[in-house]
Amino acid sequence: MSAQGAEIEVEGRRVINFTSNDYLGMAAHPRVIKRVQSEVSRHGFGAGSAALLSGRSTLQAELEREIAAYTGAESALLFSSGYLANTGTLPALIGKSDFVAHDRFNHASLIDGVLSSKAAHRRYPHLEPATVTESMGRSRGQNFLVSESLFSMDGDQAPLPELQTTAAEHNAVLYIDDAHGFGVTGDGRGASAILGRTGNRRPTTIIMLTLGKALGSAGAVVLAPASVREYLVQRARTFIYDTALPPVCAAAALEALEIMAIDNQPVRQLQTNIATFRSLAKEAGLVLLDSTTPIQPLMIGDDRQALEVSKKLYQQGFYVRAIRPPTVPRGTARLRITLTATHTSVQLENLVAALLATRNL
């Protein structure tokens, strides 16, 4: 596999890539590469130890400050990955006597984090938090409401203002995983922008965003009030007992953030590509799931047929992965088409033509 981009090499074959979460084309952006090359000679590669020992470099501290400023958060704490951020933060904050309401389609790392807290919990039907308000009303501990902002398999979005209101009404802490929303929604600021703009009463809100998707690097950041950040530094086991993120990963994320923030051009280009693809698909009679995000699933249903279509597309030079159970519910195998700011309109037109040709396999 070559470097990320709209066109990549897979096992020696050049293909147009519709599988990547590098939504803004930052993973191999020339400016990011140049910045990393220059920082690596100063900082070396590995962090060498956990952040609480000597693993925290000035670059990591700068990244926390910059992301907090960009999203309007009080503070930010850097983890080595989104998986570690979720599985460390949730059990650090949630006690055995608390209650957690969480979306049925949440990412595995959120589920693992909730389960390891040993708190009572209920998984509510996808996007329907109202169905668990009664249980929250009965809870005697602290309530938590946990959801992804943009769901990674369907490309649909959580009703963030409704979650915010529900959390405020039930005195719940709102925990949002913005792995796929940051850099994409809310003019790039993701869930922070959407939640910040509502006039609702604000519950305590914690947002986890990953640096390995729209920012094209690796790692994750938890945005939280300063007192929560301080608590996590003392209590989140995946922060305390983990070798810190290599400083050059922080440098790559910092550079990507700067490129993104200058004039929002990559974010706007991504939105244009999403609109272009959806309109081409509609004209061609292809029925996509109702998603306005870069994740555009084309439902196939049958596992084997989904694999077959993916294989045919690959033979024609398009890399599109079939997603099957257990990642998605039985009978909902699909092609997960992910769009990026770096796709050209010709590449989008060609994909739609290829999808049409393979539709009736």
Ligand X SMILES: Cc1ncc(COP(=O)(O)O)c(C=O)c1O
Of 17, 20, 21, 86, which is the active-site residue?
21
User: Is 118 noted as a catalytic residue in this protein?
Assistant: no
Footprint on residues 230-289 left by ligand X (CB under 6 A): none
Site for ligand X in 98-157 (CB under 6 A): 107, 109, 148, 152
177 a catalytic residue: yes
Nearest to 55 by CA among 89, 85, 80, 75: 80
Q: Tell me the closest approach of the beta carbon of residue 201 to ligand X, in angstroms.
A: 26
Whether cis (ω within 30° of 0) applies to the bond prior to 326 is yes
Burial 221-255 (b: 16+ CB within 10 A, else e): bbbbeeebbebbeeebebbbebebbbbbbbbbbbb
Q: What angle do CA 173, 51, 88 make, to 5 degrees?
A: 30
d(C-alpha 248, C-alpha 52), whole Å = 18
Q: Which is nearer to ligand X, 39 or 103 (CB)?
A: 103
| Site residue total, ligand X (CB under 6 A) | 14
State in angstroms the smallest separation of the CB of 49 from ligand X. 21
Catalytic residue among 66, 98, 156, 177: 177
Cα dihedral sign for 130, 133, 135, 141? Answer: positive
Residues 239 and 98: beta-carbon distance below 8 Å: no
Sign of the dihedral through C-alpha 72, 78, 81, 82: negative
- DSSP-assigned states of every residue in 160-178: HHHHHHHHHHTTEEEEEE-
Annotation marks residue 350 as catalytic: no
Q: Does 222 bind ligand X (CB under 6 A)?
A: no
> Given candidates 18, 23, 83, 239, which one binds ligand X under the rule CB under 6 A?
83
Look up 213 and say whether it is catalytic.
Answer: yes
Interface segment toward ligand X; rule CB under 6 A; list 62-70, 172-180, 233-241, 324-332: 172-180
Active site residue 21: yes
Figure out which of the listed residues 181, 212, 247, 294 binds ligand X, where binding follows CB under 6 A.
Answer: 212
Q: Report which residue's Cβ sits closest to ligand X.
A: 82
Q: Which 8-state DSSP code applies to residue 127?
A: T
Greatest Cα-to-Cα distance within the chain, rounded to the nearest angstrom: 59
Q: State in angstroms the smallest separation of the CB of 138 from ligand X.
A: 29
Point out which residues bind ligand X (CB under 6 A): 81-83, 86, 107, 109, 148, 152, 177, 179-180, 210, 212, 220
Residues tagged active-site: 21, 107, 148, 152, 177, 180, 213
